[in-house]
């Protein structure tokens, strides 16, 4: 066990290439020392980095060279130095589900899209506790510009998927579960609280709503 | 007071022209009589109609001509007869907020998009209790293919906006409020539980997340 | 994106004429700079303005001319300079509902009022996601001194209605909904947390209670 | 202990004279036998009675003469036989509070009304655990057509007051409390769940909102 | 409206004679000025007074003569000057209920006490919204050394009763209610959060538990 | 592992001798077979037994000899055959706490009783995870007719203590805890939901309330 | 979109080899048709399968050959046909965390184990939204018989890890998060509601508790 | 009542011998004086002691000799001086339950272990309100290296058991209960919030999950 716990961050420098978004550093619970170490790593690789939830006190506590390299805005509590962006070209709608119990909600979404004249492809039962199931299909899923992700229980699918595709990810939490996951509130919160950047959510079991949102994306293309 | 409460529905036949989505009828709490009346109105105008949350028992209780006109699927509990679809051509990102107290979150979203190289326009303080404020700007807002809506308190902005624009609507509930609206949970649930079809939500105060989601839409174009 | 986010407020100077109540500024989440900008706008138009939730520290941080123009009370955390008031003359009870699923609760209220010898008029299915439905009837609704507003789901109707009429507005949240809106708690909180000034609420599905409250208003006339 | 627990109801035949509203019988948790016993008591005194939350099955289970004497509506689940109504003549606004800790909220309401040009009278520290405190002032309070009731903790004041005055009663729950009453949610729910007919509520600590609601009543007079 | 809101407290000097307990002043939300005013009133009448939740800072802020008259303990945050105590002589068990819907729980308590060989008397349907119903029976109820109070909805009965009798008061919240009072949680919290000193509670609908607690009191006599 | 899971009950035949209360059987979640097995055990030892939450259907499903031996009441859902009762002679007030962190609340209770002229003895830091700590003092605690039990965290002390003493047990849940036990709600619910018959509770951290309740017991002696 | 949604299950036949546990099928939300399809797949590969939460009605609805192949127990609602088991040989304690913000809790666990004389290895910042970070270290982690997994936010790490290692997995949810993940409740529920079989949890931020549990495993070896 | 409440701690010096874990002192709610008293007691007996949740301010407030004797780490907020450890030799799986109503969950666990080829022994109906029931069997239970504890209601069994055995303790909270214990959430939180060091929990009613976790322990042996 090392005392250098502020050096522990494992940074995701290839995120922009993988999902079209750069890594952002959520600073609320990090010490200035941890933030400095992270900035150094980004600088070393000449990669842009966005800091969020960083207040003026924390910026003031950074070493002067780090502080001066940043474009800081106190009201939004953001700081960054900008960089290059990805070129992405995609088309279509995928519906991905965690388990067979989610079939009814998947079909509500699929049929609602069909009604609006939009083609869908179903990728069912690829829940992340048997990770190979999702990894076997991920290249196919990645090709769709919109992915509707349907899952109940603890909804871990949303976070894993959000970190693997550059598509618009619309989570539909389902009421499949019992005990702490009864009623779908846990899956919903897992979608909203996901660490994966830019995962969106609709109400529990709302396959229709997800389809409408997907149609808004497709129609606006 | 009339006894004909099953005839009360005021249908939104122009929705497809306005927001690119047809009206859907949420049937969980409606009687078969109410549903028949609604179907008759749609048929009379030759407009397509999507029924959701309609189970086999309720379909069986409909008059035979209504029942037979529907393409019903029992697992998804959807039924419809398809129709024509809109042509829409749009481009850009609008950030719309309910009040000046939401400025920090608006800026977190705006700067995160700026960081990803995407242009934004701010429409602040257009909350719906002074409806004219929103109506004065709605034609400008409508031109953007993605609208980030930022609101705290009871979050009524999300529903009104979702019914006025065809754009992708990403709600960012904020923690502005007190009593029952303290912490932002009420605004969040208003986004998720919105009657407006296809409103999407991110976590409370998550301007960064909304920006990432918007970037996914823009990047996939 | 402008750095002048403290200038963003769009003020509702005509509120007194529209609903008989002046605009009030909820200061908990606003900076002194934002408050000063708002006061300047009011002063420029010679319109009275009520500040609420403003503590002594925030008052002390205002520019001296703003500070001295205010009648400030530290215990109630209110500050104002008074002004002219509206003349309003009204009579009757309207029952306005968001959707056909709310019919049972509307009728409980209507019949309870009928039992107490009070006339009612029903305005059903005028939910705000198809805003034209409400706007088509708003002049009729405005004529009633008491409006019972009945809505489930996210209850956005309460806020929009409260900003459009000068009548007493009694919200009856209904248990129509699913997921986050299941059971009516969301609609209830939207009524209580509404930004529209002076919206009142009764318990979920309590059409009888709303009728009793309306009767108290009518009887006291 | 008698087995005749269905005969236990102690009915409030003088309610119409006291508060201008007839007694209503909430039937959800009552047996048909209990309801019949109550109806018999009302008939014996030739007093009108409103039944709420009574479904068709429960009506069908009543003895035939009781059943036929009722005007029953299945959708609203109400039943009644109408009767005479009170004449009431009142004017003004009273602010009544449970304890000295509620003073700040009382003043927010009082000053907001003062701002709108409306006169108020304060009746502070008349909480119901020392019932004589309220009873000493009740005749004075009763003279006001609108009563703003301000209380934290368990909010029992709202129910007692609602049963003693014919005025419009607007509850303002306060955040005064600890443990289960911390934050004001308990007092709020006590207002909403009150057995007293027609008690209205605003958000926690919302003295301003209660004043606006009171102004709507007064302005509409 | 007077600016002297710190003088508003209406003190319950006869509480010791009425219920065998002196008034206690809950200081968490009170200013030093309000506390001093209260102490002065007690001193003037030579009546003992117990201060609770008063921290060292607040004691230090009191005028020196008030401060020195108090026996203050910082860990328990209590302060007092002791006084005379009541003589009370009582015997028996009363079961008091708010409404006829609570009959099943009353009987569970009554029969459980009968099983343990203890006599009971039932006082049903004396809910506080028709206060005369309780006042008509209060002298009889007061004679019993143990009172089991059974109520659902908002449970205001517990607070009113606790302020009127010197007996041991055991609240049994019932699951009678709907909306915010559904399931009995509101009535339970009203019992626990009651302002009346020394009200005790058992679980929702737990007539058996209340009977056991009453038996513990009676057996220990 | 035996298939005879209905024979698994280990009955507490000596409870009446130990705590002055007979064992009661909570029947909601038990099968008729399990209940019959329990009744047989009681009959074999000629010991009285109280059944609670047993409905008419479950009684009808019992073997005829069991059914006929019971005095059943359908409204209270109780059934029993009565028996002999204990003689107990006790005097005084014990304050028992789970940990040193609960000291402030213990002292609030102790000083409030001292103020009312009632003697107390403190038994601190006898939490049940080191069971010997409680067992070492249990004979001393048992001598007091009233025991105030003070505990935070998961509040297991209340249940263990309630099963070991015949005294009145008043639980004071404290806000000592973190994560799921933060704020005291868990300890409160453990008191209310305790399997030990007749445990009573006051609000979180309410040492004063517990003292008042204890004073009511002592004063009524 | 295929109508054969009952054929969608993707089964994890290699789970026993990977984590020493066979796949179990949670039947609460599955139709008999879906279950039959799953059983057929298992039979075809001669692999054992455990059905949980399957009631007698659902078993009765299966085709006769499926029904007869199962050892069904109605009380536990389980059914299976047994099979071969893995041989596993492991030793040690790994501490795996989602992000650098979790460092304090990791260290509390590490130091508590060090105090008990047990060696640990830290694998920090391997959260699943950048899945490669975890996959890079998974072979090292897998060697430890006990894995303490530390994560805040939505806690997706617990489910992914639980599906990749055969070790004892002890989740420590942390209070790192905001909005719906504030306080750690979401991460806690994700651990408890995880689809990965046999994931265990301790209280929020309870690194000490996880260390004690790990010590119980190591000491018992 | 003594003023020396900081001396009240009753320390568990034999814990290491009894359950293989030393006593740890949770310092969040303790004063420096209370902590010093505890350290002195440990030093006097030459026994190791682990302090958790102790921040730098509290350490700085300790007397210098206490402060210097400690190995303190500010990030993990732990401090200790290490010591000797137990030798334990155990083998097998026990399933212990609080009441007969928990039988179905016990059997789900037992059969799931049987399916994985692992032997179990059932100890049913040994709930802690009749403590002798558990104490009669504790020596047998202690012999098993893994104990699955199954309980509903307030779940006090988990804490008592965790303080009596050195085995791995896996709590399975059940949904047996009513009112505050309805659904199993209270029992779950009692497991998670237990004062007994190292108690682990799975989801409500999840006998299968507990069996899988137990299998992970046994397989890794």
Q: State pLDDT tens for residues B102-141.
A: 988 998 899 888 887 888 999 998 988 888 889 999 999 9
Neighbouring CB atoms inside 10 A of C101's CB total 24
Cα-flanking dihedrals φ and ψ of residue H24, to 5°?
-115, 145
Mean local confidence (pLDDT), B78-85: 66
What is the arrangement of strands in the sheet containing D93-97, beginning at the earlier edge strand?
C121-123, C93-97, C146-151, C168-173, C199-201, D199-201, D168-173, D146-151, D93-97, D120-123
Q: Which residue has the higher pLDDT, E2 or G157?
A: G157
pLDDT in tens, F101-156: 898 899 889 988 888 788 899 999 898 888 888 999 999 999 999 999 999 999 99
Interface mutation target, options F77, F204, F207, F209, chain D, most CBs of D under 10 Å: F204
Neighbouring CB atoms inside 10 A of G4's CB total 8
Q: From the CA of D105, how many Å to the nearest CA of chain B? A: 13
Give the least confident one: A140-149, B3-12, D74-83, H62-71.
Answer: B3-12
- Verify whether the Cβ–Cβ distance B189 to C180 is below 8 Å: yes
Chain H residues with CB inside 8 Å of E184's CB?
A: 179
pLDDT category at H75 given cuts 50, 70, 90 is confident
- Reading the block at residue H109, the tokens are 């666990």
Q: From the CA of E51, how many Å to the nearest CA of chain H? A: 19
ipTM over cut 0.90: no
Q: From the CA of H71, how many Å to the nearest CA of chain F? A: 23
Q: Maximum CA pair distance of chain A?
A: 59
Q: What is the pLDDT of residue B11?
A: 75
Give partners of H (≥3 CB pairs < 8 A).
Answer: A, E, F, G
Q: What is the pLDDT of residue B1?
A: 40
- Verify whether the Cβ–Cβ distance E129 to D193 is below 8 Å: no
Closest chain D residue to the Cα of B178, Cα to Cα: D204
Q: What is the pLDDT of residue B7?
A: 57
Chain H residues with CB inside 8 Å of G221's CB?
A: 221
Q: What gap in Å lies between CA H218 and CA A185, rounded to an integer? A: 34
DSSP string, H134-195: HHTTHHHHHT-SEEEEEE-TT-HHHHHHHTT--SEEEEEE-S---GGGGGGHHHHHHHHT-S
The pTM (predicted TM-score) of the whole model is: 0.85
Among the partner-chain residues B86, B193, B220, the one whose CB lies closest to the CB of A219 is B86
Q: What is the pLDDT of residue D85?
A: 43
- Verify whether the Cβ–Cβ distance F111 to E188 is below 8 Å: no
Q: What is the pLDDT of residue D87?
A: 40
Give partners of A (≥3 CB pairs < 8 A).
Answer: B, C, G, H
pLDDT of E206 above 60: yes
Closest chain B residue to the Cα of G180, Cα to Cα: B203
- Reading the block at residue B212, the tokens are 């990432």
| Percentage of residues in chain A having pLDDT higher than 70 | 89
Closest by CA position to C29, among listed C3, C52, C56, C1: C52
For β-strands A199-201 and G78-81, DSSP reports them as: unpaired
Q: Which helix (H) or strand (E) holds F38?
A: helix F32-44
- Verify whether the Cβ–Cβ distance D204 to B178 is below 8 Å: yes
- Verify whether the Cβ–Cβ distance H206 to A5 is below 8 Å: no
Q: What gap in Å lies between CA A130 and CA H84, rounded to an integer? A: 42
Among the partner-chain residues B75, B203, B205, the one whose CB lies closest to the CB of G5 is B75
- Highest mean pLDDT: which range of A66-75, A85-94, B41-50, G146-155: G146-155
Interface mutation target, options E71, E78, E144, chain F, most CBs of F under 10 Å: E78
Cα-based distances in Å from D47 to C89, C112, D24, D79, H165? 35, 16, 11, 14, 69
Chain G residues with CB inside 8 Å of A16's CB?
A: none
**What's chain E's average pLDDT?**
86
C115 contacts: CB under 8 Å, gap ≥ 6: D22, D48, D50, D78, D80, D82
Closest chain C residue to the Cα of E153, Cα to Cα: C203
- Highest mean pLDDT: which range of E32-46, E166-180, F40-54: E166-180
- Reading the block at residue G63, the tokens are 């085709």
A217 contacts: CB under 8 Å, gap ≥ 6: A145, A146, A168, B168, B217, B220
Do F and A count as touching (3 or more CB pairs closer than 8 A)?
no
> Which ranges in chain H belong to alpha helices (H)?
15-19, 32-44, 56-60, 64-68, 103-115, 131-135, 138-142, 156-162, 185-192, 207-219
Q: Which helix (H) or strand (E) holds G152?
A: none
Q: What is the pLDDT of residue A190?
A: 96
pLDDT in tens, C103-139: 889 988 998 888 878 889 999 989 888 888 899 999 9
Closest by CA position to F201, among listed F150, F156, F161, F154: F150
Chain B residues with CB inside 8 Å of G179's CB?
A: 175, 184, 188, 203-206
Give the least confident one: A18-22, E166-170, F168-172, G57-61.
Answer: A18-22
pLDDT in tens, C37-86: 889 888 888 888 888 889 999 999 999 989 988 889 888 888 887 554 44
Chain H residues with CB inside 8 Å of G107's CB?
A: 73, 75-76, 78
Evaluate the CA torsion angle C57, C59, C63, C64 in order and state its sign: negative
Q: What is the pLDDT of residue G204?
A: 96
pLDDT of E147 above 80: yes
pLDDT in tens, H8-23: 577 777 777 776 677 7
pLDDT category at F4 given cuts 50, 70, 90 is low
Q: What is the pLDDT of residue C207?
A: 92
Residues in chain D predicted with pLDDT less than 70, given as ranges, are 1-8, 17-20, 82-91, 221
pLDDT of A45 above 70: yes
pLDDT in tens, F80-103: 875 544 444 345 799 999 988 898
Q: What is the pLDDT of residue F182?
A: 93
pLDDT of C187 above 60: yes
DSSP reduced 3-state for B104: helix
Interface mutation target, options C10, C21, C31, chain B, most CBs of B under 10 Å: C10
């Amino acid at each position: 066990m090392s005392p250098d716990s502020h050096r522990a961050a494992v940074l995701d420098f290839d995120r922009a290439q993988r999902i079209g978004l750069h890594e952002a550093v959520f600073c609320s619970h990090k010490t200035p020392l941890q933030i400095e170490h992270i900035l150094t790593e980004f600088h070393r690789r000449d990669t842009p980095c966005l800091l969020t939830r960083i207040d003026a006190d924390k910026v003031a506590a950074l070493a002067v060279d780090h502080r001066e390299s940043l474009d800081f805005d106190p009201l939004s509590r953001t700081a960054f130095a900008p960089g290059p962006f990805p070129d992405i070209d995609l088309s279509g709608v995928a519906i991905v589900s965690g388990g067979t119990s989610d079939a009814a909600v998947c079909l509500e979404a699929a049929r609602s899209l069909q009604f609006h004249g939009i083609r869908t492809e179903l990728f069912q039962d690829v829940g992340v506790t048997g990770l190979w199931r999702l990894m076997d299909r991920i290249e196919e899923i990645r090709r769709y510009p919109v992915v509707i992700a349907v899952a109940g229980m603890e909804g871990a699918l949303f976070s894993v998927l959000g970190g693997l595709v550059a598509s618009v990810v619309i989570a539909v939490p389902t009421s499949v579960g019992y005990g702490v996951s009864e009623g779908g509130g846990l899956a919903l919160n897992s979608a909203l609280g996901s660490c994966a950047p830019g995962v969106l959510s609709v109400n529990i079991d709302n396959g229709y709503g997800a389809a409408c949102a997907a149609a808004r994306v497709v129609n606006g293309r």
